[in-house]
Copies of this chain bind each other. A is one copy, B any other.
Amino acid sequence: MKSNHAKNGTRGIKRIDLAYVELASSENARDINRDIVLEIIRSQQPVARADLARSSGLQPSTISAIVEQLISEKWVSEGALARRPRGRPSTLLSLNDALVILVADVRPHQAIVALVDLNGRFLAREAVPLVSEPARSVEKIVHSMQSMRAAHSDRSFEGIGISMPGRVDPESQRLILAPNLKWADYDIKGVIEEQMQLQVELANAANACLLSELWSGRLDGIRNAVLITVSEGIGAAILANGQIITSRSGLAGEFGHSPIDPSGPICGCGQHGCWEVFASSTAALRYYAELAPKSRQLTIHELLRLTEEGDSAAIAAVSRQAVHLGRGLRLVTASLSPEVVLITGDLTTSWARFGPIIQKEMVETMLAGAPPNLGITKDGELSRLRGAAAVVLQRHSGYHTSPHLTASGKRNRRSATVVS
């Protein structure tokens, strides 16, 4: 074997249901190999054609043909010559960072708007406070995007990706379930597309965050993982068999609304004792109010600050949240048995203190087998923004994708450049 990429052994993926069958042809092979090469360029850039051939297992001649195609499609650009100890220098290839994506991370009270290039570098970033009416809020987001576009008019704008604090139907791209954002039935995608004249992709925040982790290479080799977002509520994104699972209407991952104690407090969803009424940041604030009844109403950041300062009631409150988080992970480990569990959100800022609590509870309640690797994603905001960009690239290029996210919608393997 010349390459580390198996050509035998594990084999291609097939669909089982005839309704979705797709026939294969030589173009199909090219598509797959194109995506593999693009992915290697992305993760190893700058990189020479010869290196691509070595690490992909494809023949140099094939690499040349594919790279030629990628350059003509504007995804990749040739860069400097690399001098090696001996032999002809290689021309280095990189992703074409003249291509940029406008992204937004919408949260209940503010949105972050940013401009990201193909390499995930931020060219601009701005916080936009939101108001209650969706129309005015979206108007402010659009305004921010327009000024970013004007300030970088030399770039090619590939599209717009938006991370939403709720579930987005992958087919209709409508917001299906967003308890913390009262934007029901407002056509976010349509309005922004109209105003910006760029294609808009919506994604759930947890899924965006997970996609960003996938792109960062952190989950290389991991085919089953769950990412848990802890903030006002608890959300989750699921990676199963190497694919992000969104399921019907994009609703998969609502572990936060699994019932764990029928005698527990009522949840925003109407049920009693959902996991998130015990383990969300809101729960931590409630615990603190019980433990320190005379204290004023805090925000979660103030509470976490107090834990850093050694406030015992604050530590007890967040610890109680951590215990419930860890115990509730049993829902995740039992049902999906992931190899990795990633936590993101408020309490990860004090991970050194609360991580071990979660870990301990999770391990103690494991059913069988080795416990999953528990970790955090450091910067949830940047992660969601990068994930939103990744969703756009997936849609537009088919590139580096979990199939479901590209399942609907026509395939447009066009050149990358949209607007100059």
Contact = CB atoms under 8 A, between A and B. Distances in A.
B336 A249 contact: no
Interface in A215-243: 219-224, 236, 238, 240-243
Given A176-B369, A245-B240, A258-B330, A220 B335 contact: no
Interface in A1-53: 5-26, 28-33, 35-36, 39-40, 43
Contact of A339 (B15, B248, B263, B398): B248
A130 interface: no
Nearest to A367: B257
A22 B35 CA distance: 11
Contact of A17 (B220, B236, B262, B406): B220
Interface in A277-326: none
A324 B404 CA distance: 32
Given A11-B31, A176-B368, A23 B57 contact: yes
Contact of A14 (B23, B32, B221, B410): B32
Interface in A389-411: 398, 400-404, 406-408, 410-411
Given A259-B260, A365-B271, A17 B337 contact: no
A337 B335 CA distance: 13
Given A58-B23, A176-B368, A241-B240, A31 B18 contact: no
A145 interface: no
Contact of A404 (B9, B25, B219, B241): B241
14 contacts: A7-B22, A8-B410, A11-B406, A11-B411, A21-B36, A23-B58, A24-B28, A24-B29, A177-B369, A240-B245, A240-B252, A241-B241, A248-B372, A257-B330
A269 B15 contact: no
A18 B219 CA distance: 10
Query: Looking at A8, A21, A370, which has the most chain B CB atoms within 10 Å of its CB?
Result: A21
A419 interface: no
A379 interface: no
A interface residue count range (under 10 / 10 to 19 / 20 to 34 / 35 or more): 35 or more
Query: Looking at A5, A251, A334, which has the most chain B CB atoms within 10 Å of its CB?
Result: A334
Chain A interface SS verdict (over half): loop
A12 B31 contact: yes
Interface in A44-76: 56-58
B16 A249 contact: no
Contacts of A25: 29
Given A24-B29, A240-B247, A398 B11 contact: yes
Contacts of A18: 5, 36, 39-40, 43, 220
A9 B411 contact: yes
A33 B15 CA distance: 11
A161 interface: no
Interface in A319-358: 327, 330-331, 334-339
